[in-house]
Amino acid sequence: MIQRIQTLWIVLAVVCMALCFAFPVANYTITPSPEQQVEATLCLVAADGGDMMAQLASGEPVVHFSQRLSGMPTWPLITLVVAIIAVAAVSIFLYRNRTAQVRIVSLAFLLNVGYAFLLFFWAVDRYADLFAMGFVPQRPEVTWAAGAFLPLAALVMLFLAQRAIRRDEARVRAADRLR
């Protein structure tokens, strides 16, 4: 049946992964001088920012660094998010074949682990390096945003879905033994 608890967990995981497109992953701050501060935001889909050099020259107190100017490739992250959403969504409709559903949810879980690994160990550090390249050897201060924690919530939900599917399969096998 589609109205099982694992369906709710999978739908919540899909929603969490879809929200990764709406929220930034990390915020960066560099203070090249006491009166100026340069900020940047790492998002899955880069947004256009203003001209950073014009803002620096004008002496604005807060200058925004555009992610598009950095040349940071986010397509591996976007591809993984879309794959996780697609695989998890397909697993919702495999409720009649619980063994296949467990395998598909496990695949979504592994893809999500790969995404989290790329996000935390590749993307955030690489963007920090690209952002700091134009400044003194000062490393930016990184503040994690909601987009970094949503995949972790999706991991937990996929784990709970997998556990619920296995529990259902165990109940069905126990009922078959009693007949």
Percent residues over pLDDT 90 in the chain: 41
User: Which is it for the CA torsion 78, 98, 100, 1, positive or negative?
Assistant: negative
**179 is a domain residue:** no
Query: What's the rounded mean pLDDT across residues 48-64?
Result: 58
Q: For residue 114, what are the contacts with CB-CB under 8 A and spacing of at least 6?
A: 80
**CA separation for the pair 62, 35 (Å, rounded):** 9
For the chain, what is the domain count? 1
**68: buried, middle or exposed (CB in 10 Å: 19+, 13-18, 0-12)?**
exposed
Query: What's the rounded mean pLDDT across residues 132-150?
Result: 81
**94 is a domain residue:** yes
Q: Does residue 34 contact residue 5 with C-beta atoms inside 8 Å? A: no
Q: What is the pTM of this model?
A: 0.83
pLDDT at 50 over 60: no
Could you give the 3-state DSSP secondary structure of residue 25?
A: coil
pLDDT at 62 over 90: no
**177 is a domain residue:** no
**178 is a domain residue:** no
* Count, residues in the chain: 179
pLDDT digits (tens, 9 = 90+) for 146-179: 999 999 999 999 999 999 989 988 888 887 776 6
Token pair, residue 32, equals 């090249």
The residue written with tokens 């556990």 in the block is 163
pLDDT digits (tens, 9 = 90+) for 18-40: 999 999 888 888 887 777 787 88
**36 is a domain residue:** yes
Token pair, residue 33, equals 């001088």
**42 is a domain residue:** yes
Which pLDDT score, from 0 to 100, does residue 56 have? 56
**104 is a domain residue:** yes
**176 is a domain residue:** no
The CATH number of whichever domain residue 44 belongs to comes to 1.20.140
Query: What's the rounded mean pLDDT across residues 7-19?
Result: 95
Which pLDDT score, from 0 to 100, does residue 84 have? 96
Residue-range definition of the domain harbouring residue 82? 5-170
